[in-house]
């Protein structure tokens, strides 16, 4: 495999608007970056920068609400898949201590009568934050569309039909997470960090570059590398579901968010976790089977529920 020195930066428009050579180079670089690092960075995407800036501004307003205001929007069902999850609730799989973060989840808005309507909890919208619903539904749709393009570009390297992922993620149980890492509490367990080492559950995660640094990935040589890029670029990483169906040809890469030198600083982040619909079967892709599949088939819903229990949300 070609050696990469850092997480590759790709131009999404090379795939969506480029000539045949640019498209082919994007396809190859995407596959290589995800195999080698589990991460790539996307420049020149189609999401308007002013929308991203507005979203981060509203996210800051949201988390500045009082604790009692935020707790009104704590989801009663669904393993924290909608609304507010308080500080110190979630932990990484197998971790002994909680992460130093709070977050808000926004999910798919389905039309009435959709077959998954009863499986997806309703979104919760804070009335205290003006334009919240409109802004974040737009961000959700923009990131979902970008994710569909990325997954389509992967189909060529994986030797599956062009609509392989499109049918899997239609009406998918994807989640937009608004994250706030507040100042480190003076009484925090010294083992706690903002987000302990973990892999994401889903197919791919699309992260709008955070307000400050702190994200690190564990490379294939077991070294932690900072993942940094210009504001408003998109950071994409492979999750457990993609690793599972590719038989680890594309591994899910371990990553974390470390504590800052300035313990009084805030960090805001906005990952979009792209999930299949609940009935999608996570089955090994033929081109990735090698000697044999490593993992048994499982529906995406059952796998999600299993992982939510493991991280303390169920």
Give the gyration radius of the chain's Cα atoms.
Answer: 19
* Average pLDDT over every residue of 123-142: 95
Token pair for 37: 């690092």
**Residues written for the chain:** 314
User: Given strand 255-257, what is the order of strands in its sheet?
Assistant: 195-198, 255-257, 215-218, 224-226
Strands (E), the chain: 9-11, 39-43, 83-85, 102-107, 175-181, 195-198, 204-208, 215-218, 224-226, 234-238, 255-257, 267-274, 281-282, 298-299
With 60 as the cut, is the pLDDT of residue 314 above it?
no
Q: What does the pLDDT look like over 184-241, one tens digit per residue? A: 877 877 788 788 888 899 999 999 866 677 888 888 888 898 888 887 889 999 999 9
Nearest to 45 by CA among 86, 3, 13: 13
- Nearest alpha-carbon partner for 8 in 256, 214, 233, 163: 233
Cβ-contact 26, 40 below 8 angstroms: no
In the chain, count of helices (H) and strands (E)?
A: 8, 14
**What pLDDT, on a 0 to 100 scale, did the predictor assign at position 49?**
86
The pLDDT assigned to 198 comes to 85
Q: Is the pLDDT of residue 78 over 80?
A: no
Transcribe 27-43 into DSSP letters. HHHHHHHHHHTSEEEEE
Domains and CATH numbers, the chain: 12-310 (2.60.120.330)
Phi (first) and psi of residue 20, to 5 degrees: -60, -40
> Residue 45: is its pLDDT beyond 60?
yes
Q: Average of pLDDT values for 90-95?
A: 70
Specify which residues 273 forms β-bridges with: 175, 205
Is the CB of residue 265 less than 8 Å from the CB of residue 183? yes
> 265: pLDDT confidence band, cut at 50, 70 and 90?
confident
Q: What is the mean pLDDT of residues 12-19?
A: 94
Q: Are 59 and 70 in contact (CB under 8 A)?
A: no
Identify any residues that bridge with 180 across adjacent strands, giving them in sequence order. 102, 268
What integer pLDDT is reported at residue 186 of this predicted model? Answer: 79
Contacts of 89 (CB under 8 A, 6+ apart): 80, 98, 102, 312, 313
Percent pLDDT > 70 in the chain is: 94
């Amino acid at each position: 495999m070609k050696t990469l020195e850092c997480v590759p930066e790709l131009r999404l428009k090379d795939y969506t608007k480029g000539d045949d050579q640019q498209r082919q180079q994007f396809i190859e670089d995407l596959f290589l970056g995800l195999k080698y690092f589990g991460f790539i960075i996307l420049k020149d995407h189609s999401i308007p920068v002013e929308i991203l800036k507005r979203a981060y501004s509203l996210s800051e307003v949201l988390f500045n609400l009082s604790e009692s205001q935020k707790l009104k929007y704590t989801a009663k069902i669904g393993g924290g898949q909608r609304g507010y999850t308080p500080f110190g609730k979630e932990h990484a799989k197998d971790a002994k201590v909680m992460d130093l973060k709070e977050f808000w989840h926004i999910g798919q808005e389905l039309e009435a009568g959709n077959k998954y309507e009863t499986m997806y909890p309703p979104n919760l919208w804070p009335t205290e934050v003006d334009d919240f619903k409109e802004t974040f539904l737009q961000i959700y749709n923009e990131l979902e569309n970008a994710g569909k393009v990325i997954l389509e570009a992967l189909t060529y390297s994986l030797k599956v039909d062009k609509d392989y992922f499109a049918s899997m993620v239609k009406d998918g149980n994807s989640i937009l997470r608004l994250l706030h890492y507040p100042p480190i509490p003076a009484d925090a367990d010294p083992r706690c960090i903002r987000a302990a080492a973990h892999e994401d559950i889903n197919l791919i995660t699309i992260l709008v570059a955070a307000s400050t640094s702190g994200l690190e990935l564990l490379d294939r040589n077991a070294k932690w590398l900072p993942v940094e890029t210009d504001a408003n670029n998109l950071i994409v990483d492979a999750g457990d579901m993609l690793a599972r169906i590719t038989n680890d040809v594309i591994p899910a890469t371990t990553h974390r968010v470390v504590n800052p030198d300035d313990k009084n600083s805030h960090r805001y982040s906005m990952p979009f976790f792209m999930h299949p619909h609940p009935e999608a079967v996570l089955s090994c892709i033929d081109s990735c089977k090698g000697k044999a599949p490593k993992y048994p088939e499982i529906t995406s819903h059952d796998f999600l529920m299993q992982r939510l229990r493991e991280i303390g949300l169920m």
